[in-house]
């Protein structure tokens, strides 16, 4: 069994059970330090032993999985969001320099009997179907959100944002979405007004601040893959 005690405690029954799962599971404390990792998670990190992961922050792990794309920093931000909101978070992870297939991560708050958050449980699962390569042009962040960051933009607006941040022109976006170029341009102007900007560079900065550059609209992922 791979486990480390921390404030609030982790049930031995839980960790013994998670050890037997073929999919990667991990538990972090409130400081975002890994306090438990099952063998599958150790294998995902590509390290030699439990001690290379347990008791460490993501940025301290000598693994390609967290050494590129500011992954460690982004993971910590996600952990904080789960802890602060006590709501689960689902992301799509694409790290070609570390692993040859994308995978989905669901982070769930770990609560004690009093309903207090004492940590996070993370579950990784390989993505079986992904149409991302049909749409992405250029570089994308390694960690993509499957939850819309907030309600600033509608789902359709998020689709336009996704394409625009990849450098696609309004005419091309319109062809993909079966909309006129004018409709796309009008939508972009409304989004610029919402963001309080007038230029794509400022709009890109706004999206990065609000994490919209990491949001992957639902149309790009087969619905079956998101129901875990």
pLDDT digits (tens, 9 = 90+) for 30-57: 999 999 999 999 999 999 999 999 999 9
DSSP state of 50: G
**Residue 203 is encoded by which pair of tokens?**
């709009």
Report the sign of the C-alpha dihedral through residues 47, 52, 55, 57, in that order: negative
Alpha-carbon distance of 145 to 135, in angstroms, equals 16
Q: Is the pLDDT of residue 173 over 70?
A: yes
The answer to whether the CB of 140 falls within 8 A of the CB of 163 is no
The pTM of the full predicted model, rounded to 2 decimals, is 0.62
Q: Are strands 143-145 and 89-93 parallel, antiparallel or unpaired?
A: antiparallel
Please state whether 45 falls in left (phi above 0), alpha (psi between -120 and 50) or beta.
alpha
pLDDT digits (tens, 9 = 90+) for 184-226: 999 999 999 999 999 999 999 999 999 898 888 887 765 434 4
Distance linking the first and last C-alpha atoms of the chain: 25
pLDDT digits (tens, 9 = 90+) for 94-142: 887 887 777 889 999 999 889 999 999 999 987 654 444 444 544 566 6
């Amino acid at each position: 069994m791979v486990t480390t005690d921390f404030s609030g405690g982790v049930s031995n029954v839980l960790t013994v059970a998670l050890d037997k799962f073929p999919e990667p599971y991990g538990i972090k404390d409130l400081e975002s330090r890994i306090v438990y990792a099952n063998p599958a998670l150790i294998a995902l990190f590509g390290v030699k032993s439990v001690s290379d992961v347990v008791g460490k922050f993501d940025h301290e792990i000598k693994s390609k999985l967290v050494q590129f794309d500011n992954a460690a920093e982004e993971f910590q931000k996600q952990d904080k969001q789960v802890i602060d909101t006590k709501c689960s978070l689902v992301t799509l992870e694409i790290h070609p320099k570390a692993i040859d297939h994308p995978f989905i991560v669901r982070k769930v708050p770990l609560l004690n009997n009093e309903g207090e958050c004492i940590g996070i449980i993370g579950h990784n699962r390989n993505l079986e179907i992904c149409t991302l390569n049909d749409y992405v042009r250029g570089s994308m962040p390694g960690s993509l959100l499957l939850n819309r960051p907030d309600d600033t933009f509608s789902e359709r607006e998020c689709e336009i944002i996704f394409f625009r941040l990849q450098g696609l022109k309004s005419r091309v976006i319109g062809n993909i979405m079966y909309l006129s170029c004018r409709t796309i341009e009008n939508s972009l102007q409304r989004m610029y007004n919402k963001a309080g900007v007038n230029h794509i560079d400022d709009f890109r900065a706004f999206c990065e601040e609000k994490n919209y550059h990491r949001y992957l609209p639902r149309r790009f992922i087969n619905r079956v893959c998101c129901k875990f």
